[in-house]
Structures are given as C-alpha cells and as structure tokens.
Amino acid sequence: MKLAIFTPLAPVKSGIADYSQALLPHLAEHLDITVFTDGGYAPDGFPAAPRISIRRCSEYVPQEFDETLYQFGNNPHHVYIYDAALRHPGINLLHEYNLHHLVAAATIKRGDWDGYLREVEYEAGPEALAYAARARNLEVGPDYDNVALSRRVIESAKATIVHSDFMVRRVRAVGAAHPVKRIPHGAWIPEVNRNRYRTRLGVEPETPLIGIFGFLKPYKRIRESLRAMRRLVRLEPRARMILVGEEHEDFPVKAAIDSLGLGGCAQVLGYVPAAEFEQYIGAVDICLNLRYPTAGETSGTLLRALGLGRAVIVSDVGAFADLPAGTCLKVPVGEAEIDLLTEYLNLLVTRPEAARGLGAQARNYAAAECSWPRAAKELADWIADKNRRGEPETGGGSAAVKTRQPPESKQKSDREPAPRQPQPEPAASPTAADGLAEYIRSWSRDRGGDAAYVETHLTRLVRTLQITPAGTAGDRILEMGAYMHITPALAAKLGYGEVRGSYLGPPGKTDVREVAGACGERFRCEIDLFNAERDAYPYADGSFAAVLCCELIEHLYDDPMHLMAEVNRILRPGGHLVLSTPNACSYRAAAAVLLNYHPGFFHQYVRPDANGVVDPRHAREFAPRDVHCLLEAGGFEVVHFETGPYLERKSDEYEWVKHVIERYELPQQWRDDAIYAVGRKSGPLRERYPRALYAGGAA
C-alpha cells in the first residue's frame, strides 16, 4: 500500500518533526511511504529506510497513492499541510485541537484578513466575528485561546486520528460523521547517564532534583511550580530544581526565580540540544509537566519522562487527565493547585521509594502502550483496513451542521475502549521445564563428557527450548552450532518436521550425525559446514521457519552482521531467530570490574591440546543493548528478551553489587548471566554496519 504523508522533518524545530523521525521508519515496515515537505529546506538526519522517499509538496499527485495522511500542528510549519488537506481531503492526524495559530499563519500572515474573518465566523459565530474584527483593527489580539479554528479541518477530512480519549471527544463534538481513531503517541526511551549529568549540575546522588522541560511558557504553570518549590525547600532544604528550555519573551523566568528567593536552588539551563535535553530528564527524580489551558496536545516531553521511569506530576486536564492511574500524579487546576502540588512534591522527596515505584509504573506503561513499533503497526493496520473497506468521504465543511460541544458528563459514551495490553509472543513450547530437562538428559547419558556438560548447562538448554516458538510438520528449523544436546527436542518436543544443523568447517561439506536416546529412540541430523561470519549459507531464501543461534555470536571475530544478514535471508517472513549468549553486563561482570578483574565470562586464551588443536574462545561478549542492536539492524522485531542463569550453580555472592546499582539508580534489568532473545523477521536487513557495533559504521 502506498501512503503519502505531509509532515515537517528536521531541521524544522517542531515536535511533530521529531515525532515523524521516530515513527516513519517503523511505519515503513508495513507501508510504502512518500513524505511531502514544503520544499523550503533540505531534510537533515532522517534515518535511511528502503520504503521511504522524500519529495516537495509541489510534486504531490493524489492519484499516485492509496491514501494520504496529513499531520497537523498549531504553527506556521503546517500551513502547506493545511492548504493541501483542504484541497485534497485525506486522513488528518491532529496532534492538538486548537489550530488558531496555524489558521492565522495561513490567512493573516498572507494578508488575507477576509479569509481569517470567514474562518472565525464559521467556527464560532457572530460574537467571535465581532472580536476578530477588532483584532483586524489592531484594537486587540486574536482570541487564540478560546477559538480553536479546527472545525474546517475536521469536517473536511475523510477520517481523523488523535492520541487521546480527550481528543476523540473533542473531534466528535464538532459533529463530523467520519471515523475517529485514537492511536497512542510513541514514547522515546533513550539511553541516559543520570550520574554524569548530575555531576555537571553539581548535584549529589541523594539530592532531590525536580525538572521542568520544554519551552518555558506561562501556560506550563511555571509560576505555580516555583511557588510550590519555595514551600518545599522550607521542608527539605536539599531540594533543587532545573528548568530546561527557552525562556518565553512574555515570561522572564530568571526574574521570577529571584523574586521568590529561589536563586540558590532553582537553575535555568535555557535551550539545550535534543540529546542533552533527554539526558537532563534522566537526571531528575521528579518531572513537572503542568499546563493550563490545554489544546488537547500529547506532550513528547511527558512521554520521554514516562519512558525513562521518572516520577511525573501533570495537570488534571485534557489528554493528561486520561493517563492511567498509577503512571503519574494529577493536580487539578484551581485555588488548591499550589497546596496539592507542594504535598505531592514533599511526598516524592521524603519517600524516594514512592517516586521510584511511580516511575517504574510509568516506564511499564510507556513500554507496553506507547512503543514506536506498536504505534506504527496500529496506524498502518487501521489505514490499510479503512482503505480496504473503501469508506466514503464524509467531509465537506459547507454542508456540515455545527454542534455545540456537550458537557463532559455527556461525552463518556464517546470514549473508545482503552487499547488492550499487547499479548506476549507465544515464546515457548508448553512443555514443563522438568519434562524438558529429563528429555535432554536422556540423549546424553551414554555420551561421556556430554553428560557432564549437559548437567552444568541444563538450565540454559531448557530455557532455550522454552523460548523457541513451536513448529508444525511442515516447518523447518536450523540449529547453528549444533552439538545435538537439544537438537532432538526440536522435532520431538517442539514439533518441527525437519531439523537441520550447521557447524564451523569447510563450506560445501555436510556431516551426518546420529544419536541414541536412553529409551532406544534414535535421531539423525544433517549438519552443514561453513563459516557463519564469512560464507554464504547453503540454503534458499525463506526456507526456514526458525533459526537457533545459541552460544555462537560470542565466538565471532569479525562480522556478526554477516550472520544476521544471512539468517534474515533464509528465514521466511515472520520467521523467528532465537539467540542466546553470555551477558557482558551481568552482576558477575560488574563485580569483576569493581574488583579489578576482567569482566568476560570466557576471556582466557586457550592452551592447545596434545594434538596442537586450540578450541575457540570468546572473541567478543555482548551487552543486552548490543543484542537489541543486532536484531533490529538485522530486520527483526524483538518479541522476547530476558536474562537468566547460564550455569546450574547459582550464588548470592553478588548481592553487594545489586546494592551499589540500586544506590546509584542504575539499570537493574538484564543483569543475569545469560541473554535470551527471540526476534521475528519484520523486513529486510536495515543496517549492514550499525555504528553501535562497527567502528566507521553507518549512523
């Protein structure tokens, strides 16, 4: 399906440009996308994707596309989108309800006061028109807050997409009869270094740090926040605040800080680049994201804070009021606002465990409901389904009947049900661990040293089978580096009709191995020999339903992405790669570093045996995020990821390391000895040399 998207891109300073930069590569996994910009700049830093092209809006021909998506924001960067959407109706994605600044830019700034007056009258009637006429005479400014000027855009659309239930209600209240769909805004979960940026600020790890982020406009309740801060420091003198963003010309923030006597504990950092902006969000304990009035916008800054697991306080209005209980604290706007804000701040500062618990729930919500891959798939599926059904256009501003927005209490029936939690990938065979363990043992009892190896690694072998998706008699599975420890179970327990093996050796040769089980069962497997990081694999494209790559990538010396590219090629669409490897970031590895030892699980050089043979050692051990990078660059969606035991012997000798990590609020997830991951093939190879893994690699 071919989709045209009208949206600004970087270097335009727009939250919607950031949104598109994050969303479109994931959306391109499902649709062929052509992005149309206004042509006044060269897009910068947009990630390369094989199914995305960028063109000027003057080149747009509606008939070339199955559907067109217009992204609306309330600023002049969207004027060309406004023009195109009224000329060629499509699906409108409204990031906020109030579009008054946009319409003013499309009319007043073009010298078209008559057009502006028509839109105001059409939106809000004679009284608003009279006020707009005064604005034309420069007696007053336009009524930006109370006249949304979005009716024409809504009514002309074939369908509307929004990010919150609040926006669903507002759009439906206009009276347009077309479909309205809520699709979650994506959440950014960047890598942050909390302690490094606290050190920059001169803030100790235990110091309560509160942050306000983004353009420092008055409607973000900054005065109210500063007054609550003044009360807080009387209760907790250690508390500090940072304000990160440009100062608004109508609101001198530094003067307000000085007038309240907060110069020693509140600091304005001003505008910082996006990468540093995220780091400062990660450095705070509490994030304030207050605002009133609201235009129904979903805050990208808020989603970053939720994704980073910060304790967040929001205003109980608009889209913010729809956030699930437990993900943030909500403060009603009104007389008691400063009192309640102070109480919430005091609670989170004096009970840091409560702040951490709130942040953990926020992170879980963002990861489950607001991931970019999920948002992209939901958007693509809905657009494709709508296109298949061929729903007629129901727009047409001149024929529409204007309706007054009903009271909040009468709008509850308009709510769309909350999206379901994503169901986990069927990660495993339903076979119980005990049954799998006994079955694995039954194939090694008469094989000498194999039995000892299996007993040492039994937990890992069982877990590998448990996370491997089950197959059918018509499915083929490849086990790379097959030692025949779990290979028979792939057929007998997981149901694959054909099991193939591979191992390091001269390409073009195939060995045949046959093993016997304790009950007389026999298993025969053909094992193809080749170099997994150099040779072309001797299999046709799309010939396997699943590939196991267990305890192999850590032995690769030069080029793990060769393996990922070949595995992607030989897997059918939607096929699975199951991967396990030692974890270079485990508690064990952290303890070794802190005690001045090498952190590797198997870093030693290997002494040759009597015949001069040297067994392969670990060339590079991988961190959890390395494995994520491998899978994503390889064209896989990560559907299962965990760490767990590597060997049978488990010890509590690293409890002290856990305390150090907790003390400095460092990541505690993915700290066990082995990484277990399952990726589903979602498309072709994305990056041959990802920079995170290759010196000189592509961005």
Residue (of 380, 357, 375) closest to 665 by Cα position: 357
More confident residue, 653 or 397: 653
Whether 341 shows a pLDDT value over 70: the answer reads yes
Alpha carbons 630 and 634: distance in angstroms, whole number: 6
Q: What Rg, from alpha-carbon coordinates, does the chain have?
A: 29
Identity at 373, one-letter amino acid code? P
Mean pLDDT of all residues in 385-400: 55
CB atoms within 10 A of CB 377: 19
Cα–chain center distance at 585:
22
Point out the least confidently predicted range of 123-127, 386-390, 602-606: 386-390
What's the whole-number mean pLDDT along residues 409-414?
Answer: 36
pLDDT for 494-506, tens place per residue?
999 999 999 999 9
Helix, strand, coil abundance in the chain, percent, nearest 5:
40, 20, 45
Strand order in the sheet with 476-480: 510-516, 522-529, 498-503, 476-480, 544-550, 571-582, 674-681, 636-644
Q: Residue 397 pLDDT > 60, yes or no?
A: no
**pLDDT-wise least confident of 174-178, 463-467, 651-655:** 651-655
In the chain, where the domains are located = 2-99+150-186+383-414, 194-367, 433-681
SS3 for 600? Answer: coil
Q: Note whether 2-99+150-186+383-414 and 433-681 share their fold.
A: yes
Residue 447's pLDDT is 62
pLDDT at 81 over 50: yes
Sheet holding 240-244, edge to edge: 266-270, 240-244, 209-213, 286-289, 311-315, 329-331
DSSP conformation class of 583: B
Whether 424 has a pLDDT exceeding 90, the answer reads no
| 298-322: average pLDDT | 94
Q: What is the pLDDT of residue 64?
A: 96
Taking 50 as the threshold, does the pLDDT of residue 650 lie above it? yes
Residue 410: pLDDT above 80?
Answer: no
Locus of tokens 């649709």: 31
Q: Which letter does DSSP use for residue 211 in this model?
A: E
Provide the token pair at 652: 């509590």
286 contacts 345 by C-beta, under 8 angstroms: yes
Average pLDDT over residues 519-526: 89
Q: Tell me which of 610 and 423 has the higher pLDDT.
A: 610
Alpha carbons 126 and 147: distance in angstroms, whole number: 12
Q: How long, in residues, is the chain? A: 699
User: Is a pLDDT exceeding 50 seen at residue 543?
Assistant: yes
Instruction: Give bridge partners of residue 527 from the DSSP assignment.
Output: 501, 511
Q: How far apart (Å, rounded) are the C-alpha atoms in residues 430 and 436?
A: 10
Q: Is 212 exposed, middle or buried (0-12, 13-18, 19+ CB in 10 A)?
A: buried
Distance, first Cα to last Cα, the chain:
28
Lowest average pLDDT, out of 201-215, 256-270, 601-615, goes to 601-615
**Which pLDDT band, with edges at 50, 70 and 90, does 647 fall under?**
confident
Among 145-159, 213-227, 489-503, 645-659, the least confident range? 645-659
Please state the separation of Cα 330 from the chain's center in Å: 24
Q: Is 90 exposed, middle or buried (0-12, 13-18, 19+ CB in 10 A)?
A: buried
The pLDDT score that the predictor gives to residue 295 is: 85
CA distance linking residue 635 with residue 28, whole number of Å: 12
Q: What stretch of H or E contains 225?
A: helix 222-235
Topology annotation, domain 2-99+150-186+383-414: Rossmann fold (3.40.50)
Cα gap 487→399, rounded to integer Å: 68
> Nearest CA to 6 among 56, 90, 67, 70?
70
Binned at pLDDT 50, 70 and 90, residue 402 comes out as very low
State the alpha helices, DSSP H only, in 516-653.
Answer: 560-570, 587-594, 624-633
pLDDT value, residue 421:
35
- Band of the pLDDT at 177, cuts 50, 70, 90? confident
Return the pLDDT at 158.
96
321 CB-side CA count, 13 A? 14
Name the residue among 185, 130, 174 with its Cα closest to residue 149. 174
- Please tell us whether the domain made up of 194-367 is placed in CATH 3.40.50.720: no
Kindly report whether the global pTM for this prediction surpasses the value 0.75: no
The mean of the pLDDT values for the chain is 89
What does the pLDDT average to over 661-687?
A: 91
Phi then psi dihedrals of residue 538, to 5 deg: -80, 50
Peptide bond into 293 cis (omega under 30): yes
> DSSP per residue over 345-400, as a string?
HHHHHH-HHHHHHHHHHHHHHHHHH--HHHHHHHHHHHHHHHHHHTPPP---GGGP
What pLDDT score was predicted for residue 92? Answer: 98
CA separation (Å) from 225 to 42, 218, 221, 280, 344?
A: 39, 11, 6, 18, 12
Give the DSSP H or E segment for 23: helix 15-27
Contact present, 604 and 658 (Cβ < 8 Å) = no
With cut-offs at 50, 70 and 90, classify the pLDDT of residue 419.
very low
| 109-118, 187-196, 427-436: least confident range | 427-436
Using pLDDT thresholds of 50, 70 and 90, give the confidence band for residue 394. Answer: very low
- Strands of the sheet containing 52-56, edge to edge, are 52-56, 32-37, 2-6, 67-72, 91-94, 159-162, 180-182
Tokens of 238: 């250690």
Crossing angle for the helix pair 15-27 and 372-389, to the nearest 10 degrees: 70
CATH 3.40.50.150 is the classification of domain 433-681: yes
Residue 449 has pLDDT above 70, yes or no: no
DSSP string, 653-673: TTHHHHHHHHHTT---SS-SS
Q: What are phi and psi of 190, to 5 degrees?
A: -80, 170
